[in-house]
Structures are given as structure tokens and as C-alpha cells.
Structure 1
Amino acid sequence: MSQRSRTLRTLLGGVRRRIGRDRTAAGHPAERALVETFTKQEIAGWLLLPPDAPECRVSLWLNDIAATEVVAHPEPDTVGGLQRRRFRFVLYDFWRFARTTDTISVRYDERPVLLAARKSYGYRPKIDGRSTPEELITLLRTGHIFGQGGKIQLGKIIDTGWQDQVLRLHDAVHRHLEAEFGLRTFLGYGTLLGYVRDHGFIDHDRDFDGAYLSRHTDPAAAAEQLITVAESLIRKGFQVIPKASCLAIKDLDSGAAQIDLFHLVGRPDGTVGFPFGSVGSAPVPVSAIEPLQPATLAGRPVLVPADPTAIVEHLYGPGWRVPDPGFSWLTARTTRESRALLDHDQQDRLYWTDFYARPELLPPSSFAPWVLDHPELPDRVVDLGCGDGRDSPVLAGDGRTVIGIDRIPAAVALARSRTEEASFVEADLNDGDALADLLGRARGASGAPLLHYARGLAGTLPEPAWLTLLDRLAATGRPGDLLALELRIDADRNRPKANFRSFRRFPPPAEVITQLTDRGWTILDREDGTGLSPYRTEDPALLRLLATRRQ
């Protein structure tokens, strides 16, 4: 290497070192603050601060625009005498305002925090969002904020239209539950927090939270009562989306407004169980809930617990007085009454009960023609989880005998009204004796082979129930039986969905194929990918299989 080359390399190295020192000086040292996660969905990291340091807020910037901020929450342990405090931003709408020429940074105390994966203090997107930073500035100036779920929204404090919708909806639900069950709903969770702390709604909240205290002291009985409440609301015309610990409720007039209705359990020892959970762990007496007290929220009469401050402190812990758009129950929750949660099977039953309460009779799916395009199919078909009989008339073509099985009464009623070319039975596929009897009836006296047709069923059932069903089909199987499956796969997990469901499975194709081959099935045909069955706003990633029973 020449002297000139060595000199030039030395000079360039010095420039790089100076740039590195300048950037480090401008930002927090990596050992004191770091962004560990930087994805399209979230940004998360930590700070190391003295244990007695005051509350700290971390902000997310787009160029020189402070888009949003969150509180960094302390962990119990210290590192070298310093306390680690974690922060997290949810980025649902943020990227739409960023362009490839813009710089995104995370800042604490006006200094940027190092992005570990990027090895820099700023990041420029690879593609342009559909909006611009200028549009974000306009929205922020007109009272919009990034809400708890990361969506840009008009702050709930000034969104009087939303306030009117949720309060009207809550009042309608309250009146129905009081008339039908003698249950009185009151403000709960985030809505109660806003009432106590902010004397109104929380600006960054997403929905309205109500609650009721179950009259059942047994947690399992309280969960069953929540199911009964949901079914009653569905019959009344409300839309109900079941979750493990609450019901999300809408109606035809609520627009985007939604209320979450939580059930609480008064235990035999006089304390309250919170199935959704809480940050505080000290027991709360039933006397902190009842008797309920009248109050006013946004000019409307509501009910609140007997000691609302005590309930809020139990739900959100000692830091409840500090607003935090980045608060996450996934990390903050310390305890819950898990015995009162709805299991996947209970949620699934409620989901489909609600779904078929507002029927949308669609034409036959594209899966049925795919199956029927194969030669030498059995003349007898069992449509497992037939729903409203969407595919049953097509399967009954060419003189086939079709029996549709579903456990949702409304679905079976719709199927029967849809066609007389197939018969439909209300039965639970989890009931082994009932299933064996129906399969025997479908085969007839001759024991004819069957085509087991299951569209969407594999992703709906919890894995244990799905494997049990496969075991029962194997135990009752005969040579010549066929099994036709269509299901969502792992590639569909993060793709857009037309309908929200709190429970779905997205197994990888290899796993499903192994489950079949291990039980005596041989794969005859396979197709997977997108473009197979678009629906509304979604184009799911699907797997289609046709398998035969080995001799």
C-alpha cells in the first residue's frame, strides 16, 4: 500500500470516528438506552435510570414532528444500581405518514435512542406511505392523536359524536340486562379510569368499558352466565363479538362505536375476581363495588362502583394517575380470575351464533367445484360444520346423498330453508357418540364409503378438538373414504381479515398433512396459496387437500 493510500485511509478513519463520536454524543449511549424491537407493528425498548428518577416519557418522532409519546414502565430488578424502564409504541397507522426521505427516531429527554437493529439513531422507510408528514401535522393540530391501538383518531375528549354513540349503546345494554337478568352495568376499566382521573373520557382510548357483577360466586357459573347474556343480546338484535374475558357489543346504530362488557365475580370469601385481570394484586372486597352509585359522564347518567378510586387503583396499579397511550395489558397484568374465562369452544359457539343471526347467504364456495372435479367420488357426503348449507346443494348434485352437520341452531335452520336436496342435523362434532351414529346413518346398511367434507373447520376447532375429530374419523373409516379439507394456513396469520375473531388457528401445511398421514390417509391432491377464495376485503392464504383412506 502506498504512503498516499495509507494517509487517505487514516484520514477517512478519523472522519468516521469523529462522525461516530458526534452521533453517540447526540444520542443516548447504547448501554443506557436502546430500541430493541423495530418493526411495522411496534417499536419497543428500554432505558436505564436511577431508581429514584421521576416518571419518564419517551416520544416517537417523524422528522421534527413529535407524533406520540408513552411512559417507560419500571421493572422490579436493577442493573448495576440502575432501574430498567421499558417502553412500547404500537404502529398501526404511523407508517402511512412516512416517506422515504423522512427520518423516524425515538427520543428521551430530547435526545435520540439508538435503534439496535439499524445501528443508528434514525431510520428512513424503504417505501412511501400513502399520506405525508404535512397531513399528520394537520391532523394533530385538529385534535387527532394516535390511540391506544396505534390508530390515528380524533381524541375522545372532543369527539362528542362518539361519546353520544357509546353512551346510548351502553344505556341500551344496561336496560336490557336489568330487565332480563336483574344485572346492573357500571363503568369499568378504561372508562372508569377516565371518569376518576380525567373527569371524562380518556383521549387515546379505543372503546367504552362497562361491567357487571355476576350473582354467581362460582367462576365457571359466572362464565356460563356471560354466555347466556351474550345469547340474549344477540336475540335482541345486538352484534356480539365474544372474547375470553368480555363481550364486544355493537348495534345497527352505533357506527364505529363499541362497548366492551366485562363480567366480575363476587367470590365466596367476599372478594372480587376480575377475569380480564388487573395490575394490582391485593384483594378487593365486594363492598368496593356495591352498592353502585349514580354519576354523570359527558352529561349522561351512569353508574359507578361504591369506591371507584379503589377499583381503579386495583385495576391499574399505583401509576394509574399518569396517562399512558402505550399502556399494554400484555405486560402490565399481574393477576386474573382465569377460572371465569370463556374457553375457545365457548367463544366459537357464540361467534357463529352471532354470525348466523344476520345471515348473508353467499353462493357456493370455490372449494366445492375443486373437490367435485376429481373422479370416482363416493355417492354419500357428510358436510362437517356445514353452517348455512352454502355448499350442500352443489355437493348433492349428480344424485349424491348429503348430510350436513352443525351445532348452531340458526345455521341449521338456514340450511334447511336453503335447499331440500340435502338433510341437516343439529349436532356437536365434539360429541363422539352422536358423530359415530350420524356417520353410520350416512353410510347406510351397505356401509358405503363416505366423502368427509370440511371447509374451514380445521382452523375453527381448537387443536385438541380437531385431533380428536380426526381420530374419530379414522376409527370409523372404511377403505374408499375420502377427506376434503380447506383451511387457513400460517401464511394467512397476518393478512387482512374481513371479520374479527378472537380465536383462529393457522397451522402450517406440513403439520396438517402429517396429522392425516399418521392416521391412515393418503394425500391425492393438494393446492395452496392465495387467490383461491377472495371474500370482501380479504384474500386468504388457504390449503386444499383431498385424501383417501388407505386399505
Structure 2
Amino acid sequence: MSGNNSSLVTAQPTGQVESFTRRSIQGWIEAGDAEFRRVVLKVNDKPVAASVASRDVDRGGSGTVRHFRFPTKDIWKFLDRGDVLTVETDGVRLPIAGEGDKYLWRRARTGDQSAAQLAEMIDKGYIFDKRGKLQLSKRKDTDWQSRVVSLYRQLNEIFRSEWGYTLFPSYGSMLGAVREQGFIGHDDDFDCGYISEKSDPEDVRQELIGIARRLVDAGFNITLRRTCIHVRRRGEKLRIDIFHFYFGETGELQFPFGYAGEPPYMKEDFTGWSEASLAGHRVFVPANPDKLLAHTYGPNWRTPDPGFSWPKDRKGAAKEANFSELERSDLFWYNHYAAAPLAEPSQLAQHLTASSTKRPQIVDVGCGAGADLAWYAANGAKLVVGFDRSAAAVDLANQRLREGQPVKAVQADATAAGGIQDLVSREQFGPEEKLFVSRLLLNAVEAAAGAKILREVRRAARAGDILVLEYLSDTAPQPPKAQWHRFRQLINRTALEDDLKSLGFEIVPDALPEPGEHIQRTVARASSEKI
């Protein structure tokens, strides 16, 4: 971004735009006697967004100073060289730090959108959501409203029948239902929650993990986030976020995601449920929602504030009820295997049964749903054991295996000390050389866990046993955000093979064909009995 120094405003400045970035425009204004000050963002004098300066900030003076924020992620793609952005309050332009009273865009437009098109979309009811993405206002998007309420009602019926819990609109969705009897225009999702009957954060957390698994079994697509679950009907993009709340030992309602107001909401404040209208749709809210909203958003919750930001306005959170990376990963794979169709044997498995690496005994480390296990058994292997940490994967693997074959899948953690060695001993592998094989597992775990897996394989391997690894290498582009739980890291071949050598493996070059530019294979032979 670049600006120019134009003439400063002649009116007395009432604030300043201090931060002007691709993600947001932020600043402060002197509030004076006003409880709130409205701030407007304009492009070529056309209002495109409005915010409210409502959060007090300390700037060292005696007057009241309040912060404002515009999320601006999508605005830049509409701008062309010469377009002008200004920020105003009460008809007065606010100075932009280092720029003057306006910001002149000096880059050529790269797409086919323009400021004129932005103005047309604003006139049709499009607004910038809380992350700065341009969308049709949720107050006008009746198709979205009907679909998301349908999903909410379906889930509420399940929660009531399965666990006796009422799902209620929470956070921004409850704010809209109570304050506006409708959806908040700039919101980007539908939030709901339930109040657990449990009081221990560990119990509350495990309860929601169990709920998430049950919803997966019922056909929903579930993503476990740090503070909630994302719920979709399988094959659809429409999403509802479900948050877990609970009364702690002191009787205070706990918010794993967080709260931004005072005073606390106590158990005695909750008196049951009442019906509310959300854009004409019937939903449930606490019988006294005002106090809950005051604790969630602060005393000024009745005044819309598009500039509200949880990272800056959050006052506290019950982080002890947040989900760990391991818990999130486990649920990811549970959901993945429940939805995944049965796959054909991999190219790697087919190569292994027709190459010099073929062995009569095979250990599939991280076997997933067992696509390769039956193939190994049907193509000459005398004993095949696959194991995976995911119970869902192991269940699917055993369902596809035929009785009488020398093959099985078991649930086990490859990172557990001595776990692979115990499994090999328990399954009574003979003295013949074994083949340990793992596909993409190193991409699906953190680096430290990957190092443990390699060490545990080496502890279980005898001299002459073969290890075959297939992995997505660091020559590939970074995976999209949607796959972060599946591919946590890309593997550097040189570093991997150095690690194997340090563990007592010898690298066997050119033993298998490479499947592609970014998928690579390493074959190694255990060279000694001990490391």
C-alpha cells in the first residue's frame, strides 16, 4: 500500500486513523460527552462501512478516548490507482497517521472488479462481515437464514433426545435474536451452545468429544476446534458452531471461548428457557438473556458495534476446557474415516509386492482404513498386521478383511514407548525378515511425534528388516488451510534420511520408483540389532 500527503483537515481533529493494513483499519476518537461515536469508511466519498467507537482506550489524557475498527479483507480487490479512502466521524475526516486526511490508492487493479461495482453491491445490501469478507447481509439473506435454522432445529432435537440439552443461539446469534429479533448483518456464521450438567472442565471437554463422535456416527461432518465444534451436514458447506458452557465449582458460568463483559453470570441467574424470534424463526434463549449478554459482550451490548474484536475485547476464558491438538487430531481422523469411501490398494502396496523389497511379514504403521492390508495378504505375505491410533480406522479396516486371511488391524499408538516392539512380539512374527511400511504418517503428526515413530520402529526391527516410508516432501507447496489437521508438516528428504542413519538404518537407493514430484519414498534396512 502507498499513500500521498494531501491537505490536512481544517476542522479540529477528534481522533486519528493509526493502523491502515490489508486486514483492518483501526484508530481512536475523542468521545466527549457522547456515549458512542459513529465512524464511517468511504471509498471515493461513497460510504461502504460503518463502525462504532465503543471500547475505551488509555492515551494518557483526561478525556474519554474510544477505539474503532473496520475489517477490510476484501475491500482492496475493488480499488484501482487513484481511488481514495477516507474515515469520518460527524462529517469530519479523521487524519491518517503519516498520510493526511485521505489515503490515495496507487496500485493498478489486478482483477475486473472496481470501486463502482463495490458501490453497487453496497446499495444492494452487501456488507463487510466481521472478518472483512464482502457478503450479502445476513439480515437480507433469507435463503441462508432458512437453511441454517433448519440445521439448528435438527441438531437441537438430537441434543434434547440424546443428552437432554437445549441448544440456544449464543454469542453473535443470541445478540441478534435478543437485540434485533433477527440476524446481525455482518456476522459470518451461526453460533449456538449448550450448558453442560458437568462442572469439571475435563469432564465437560470429554463430554463434547463424545457428542462430536456421536454426531459423526449420525452422518454429520464435524471439525473439533480449540473452543467449539463446527457442524455441517455431510456434503454441504453450511456450518453451525456449537460451544460448550458449564457452571464451575463456584457457580459461575464458564466460557471456554471467552467473554468480554462483567459481572459474572451465576448459576442462580439461570431460570430456564424461553422462546425468541430470530427473523421469524422460533429459537430458545435463556429466560433472562440480558444479564448473560452483558457478561458476554459488556454493558453496551445493546449498541451495534461492527468493530468489536474478540482478540482485543476478550476479558477472560475457561482455557482449561479447551481442546488439545491431539484431541483435535483424533477427532479429525474419526470424522475422516467415517466419511471416506473404501479405497483401492495404494500404488506403494502394489510395488512392494512386486519388487526386491517384498517380505513375507509386513507391519503397516498407520494403516488407516486398511486399503493395503488385504492386498498384502492376497499377494504372498504370510502375516500382515496393521495398526492405527484411530478406532474408526481400525474398525473399517477389520470390516473389509476376510476371515481366514493372515491379516488383522489393531488399535495402537505408534509413538508409545515400546508399543511397536510389544505388538510385534504379541503377534508372534517369525524369524523371517519383516517389512515395516508407512504412508503419509509422518505428514500427519508433529515433528517430535514423527521422530518417536522412527525410533520405535527401529526398536522393533531386527537386522535386515526393511522400512519403507512414503511422504509428501517439502518440495510441495504448503497445503491449504482445510488440510492442516491432516498434513501438519512437509518432510525434508535429506533430514529424514540423516535421522534414519543415526538410528542404525542403511538407506537403500533406487529400490522403488518415485510416484511423483512431491510424493517421495525412502527405503532403509536395519543394519544392527540395537541403536
Any idea what the Cα deviations from partners look like across 1:432-451, whole Å, max 9, x if unmatched?
45433234467933263533
**1:13-52 alignment, distance < 5 Å:** 22-24=6-8, 32-35=16-19, 38-39=21-22, 42-47=23-28, 49=30
Q: CA deviation at 1:130?
A: 4.3
**1:241-260 alignment, distance < 5 Å:** 241-251=223-233, 255-260=236-241
Task: Describe the shift of the 1:333–1:511 C-alpha distance in structure 2 as closer, same or farther (beyond 3 A).
Answer: farther
Partner residue, 1:411: 393
Partner residue, 1:334: 315
Q: Which amino acid aligns with 2:127?
A: I
In the alignment, which of 169, 176, 182 is matched to residue 194 of structure 1?
176
Any idea what the Cα deviations from partners look like across 1:457-514, whole Å, max 9, x if unmatched?
3343345544443443344355554351424759755x545x4666863467499647
**1:373-412 alignment, distance < 5 Å:** 376=357, 380-390=361-371, 399=380, 402-412=384-394
Q: Distance in 2 between matches of 1:115 and 1:490?
A: 42
Any idea what the Cα deviations from partners look like across 1:249-294, whole Å, max 9, x if unmatched?
12259x5432111111121221111111111254320233342223
Task: Describe the shift of the 1:284–1:403 C-alpha distance in structure 2 as closer, same or farther (beyond 3 A).
Answer: same
Partner residue, 2:193: 211
1:429 aligns with 2:414: yes
Q: Distance in 2 between matches of 1:360 and 1:108?
A: 55
**1:295-334 alignment, distance < 5 Å:** 295-334=276-315
Partner residue, 1:283: 264
Greater alpha carbon shift after TM alignment, 279-288 vs 470-479: 470-479
Report the 3-state secondary structure (helix = DSSP H, G, I; strand = E; otherwise coil) of the residue aligned with 1:357.
helix
Partner residue, 1:448: 433
Q: Distance in 2 between matches of 1:483 and 1:127?
A: 50
Q: Distance in 2 between matches of 1:465 and 1:57?
A: 51
Q: Distance in 2 between matches of 1:343 and 1:380?
A: 36
Greater alpha carbon shift after TM alignment, 171-180 vs 461-470: 461-470
1:359 aligns with 2:335: no
Q: Distance in 2 between matches of 1:326 and 1:545?
A: 50
Q: CA deviation at 1:178?
A: 1.1
In the alignment, which of 251, 254, 267 is matched to residue 270 of structure 1?
251
Q: Which amino acid aligns with 2:187?
A: D
- Contact between 2:82 and 2:104, CA under 8 Å: does it hold in 1? no
1:231 aligns with 2:213: yes
Q: CA deviation at 1:517?
A: 6.4
- Contact between 2:52 and 2:305, CA under 8 Å: does it hold in 1? yes
Q: Distance in 1 between matches of 2:348 and 2:27?
A: 49
Q: Which amino acid aligns with 2:248?
A: R
Q: Distance in 2 between matches of 1:120 and 1:368?
A: 63
Stretches of structure 1 lacking an aligned partner (at least 5 in a row): 1-18, 534-541
Using the size of structure 2 for normalisation, the TM-score is 0.80
Q: Distance in 1 between matches of 2:88 and 2:164?
A: 51
Task: Describe the shift of the 1:137–1:108 C-alpha distance in structure 2 as closer, same or farther (beyond 3 A).
Answer: closer
Report the 3-state secondary structure (helix = DSSP H, G, I; strand = E; otherwise coil) of the residue aligned with 1:334.
coil
Q: Which amino acid aligns with 2:444?
A: T
Q: CA deviation at 1:392?
A: 5.2
Report the 3-state secondary structure (helix = DSSP H, G, I; strand = E; otherwise coil) of the residue aligned with 1:220.
helix
Task: Describe the shift of the 1:353–1:27 C-alpha distance in structure 2 as closer, same or farther (beyond 3 A).
Answer: farther
Any idea what the Cα deviations from partners look like across 1:44-93, whole Å, max 9, x if unmatched?
443364787754455554444433344456464324667573635241x3
Greater alpha carbon shift after TM alignment, 505-514 vs 62-71: 505-514
- Contact between 1:242 and 1:248, CA under 8 Å: does it hold in 2? yes
Report the 3-state secondary structure (helix = DSSP H, G, I; strand = E; otherwise coil) of the residue aligned with 2:207.
helix
- Contact between 2:8 and 2:95, CA under 8 Å: does it hold in 1? no
Q: CA deviation at 1:211?
A: 1.2
Report the 3-state secondary structure (helix = DSSP H, G, I; strand = E; otherwise coil) of the residue aligned with 2:339.
coil
- Contact between 1:381 and 1:453, CA under 8 Å: does it hold in 2? no
In the alignment, which of 233, 251, 274 is matched to residue 293 of structure 1?
274
Q: Distance in 2 between matches of 1:59 and 1:96?
A: 20
Partner residue, 1:261: 242
Stretches of structure 2 lacking an aligned partner (at least 5 in a row): none
Task: Describe the shift of the 1:345–1:308 C-alpha distance in structure 2 as closer, same or farther (beyond 3 A).
Answer: same
Task: Describe the shift of the 1:482–1:289 C-alpha distance in structure 2 as closer, same or farther (beyond 3 A).
Answer: same
In the alignment, which of 135, 154, 160 is matched to residue 117 of structure 2?
135
Q: Which amino acid aligns with 1:249?
A: V
Partner residue, 1:240: 222
Q: CA deviation at 1:242?
A: 1.5
Any idea what the Cα deviations from partners look like across 1:2-40, whole Å, max 9, x if unmatched?
xxxxxxxxxxxxxxxxx97644558999x953225x24x
Partner residue, 1:8: none
Report the 3-state secondary structure (helix = DSSP H, G, I; strand = E; otherwise coil) of the residue aligned with 2:103.
coil
Any idea what the Cα deviations from partners look like across 1:398-455, whole Å, max 9, x if unmatched?
7456533223343234334556686432333354454332344679332635334130
Q: Distance in 1 between matches of 2:359 and 2:46?
A: 65
In the alignment, which of 183, 187, 194 is matched to residue 165 of structure 2?
183
Task: Describe the shift of the 1:378–1:266 C-alpha distance in structure 2 as closer, same or farther (beyond 3 A).
Answer: same
Partner residue, 1:3: none
Q: Which amino acid aligns with 1:283?
A: P
Partner residue, 2:522: 546
Partner residue, 1:484: 469
Task: Describe the shift of the 1:88–1:140 C-alpha distance in structure 2 as closer, same or farther (beyond 3 A).
Answer: closer
Report the 3-state secondary structure (helix = DSSP H, G, I; strand = E; otherwise coil) of the residue aligned with 1:339.
helix
**In angstroms, what is the RMSD of aligned CA positions?**
4.2
How many pairs are equivalent? Answer: 511
Task: Describe the shift of the 1:314–1:506 C-alpha distance in structure 2 as closer, same or farther (beyond 3 A).
Answer: farther
Q: Which amino acid aligns with 2:522?
A: L
Aligned-pair identity (%): 29
- Contact between 2:252 and 2:264, CA under 8 Å: does it hold in 1? yes
Q: CA deviation at 1:351?
A: 1.8
Any idea what the Cα deviations from partners look like across 1:220-269, whole Å, max 9, x if unmatched?
0011111111122222222222112211112259x543211111112122
- Contact between 1:186 and 1:303, CA under 8 Å: does it hold in 2? yes
Q: Which amino acid aligns with 2:81?
A: T
Q: Distance in 2 between matches of 1:228 and 1:471?
A: 32
Q: Distance in 1 between matches of 2:398 and 2:293?
A: 50
Task: Describe the shift of the 1:459–1:286 C-alpha distance in structure 2 as closer, same or farther (beyond 3 A).
Answer: farther
Report the 3-state secondary structure (helix = DSSP H, G, I; strand = E; otherwise coil) of the residue aligned with 2:338.
coil
- Contact between 2:247 and 2:267, CA under 8 Å: does it hold in 1? yes
Partner residue, 1:107: 87
Q: CA deviation at 1:518?
A: 6.1
Q: Distance in 2 between matches of 1:47 and 1:508?
A: 46
Report the 3-state secondary structure (helix = DSSP H, G, I; strand = E; otherwise coil) of the residue aligned with 2:150.
helix
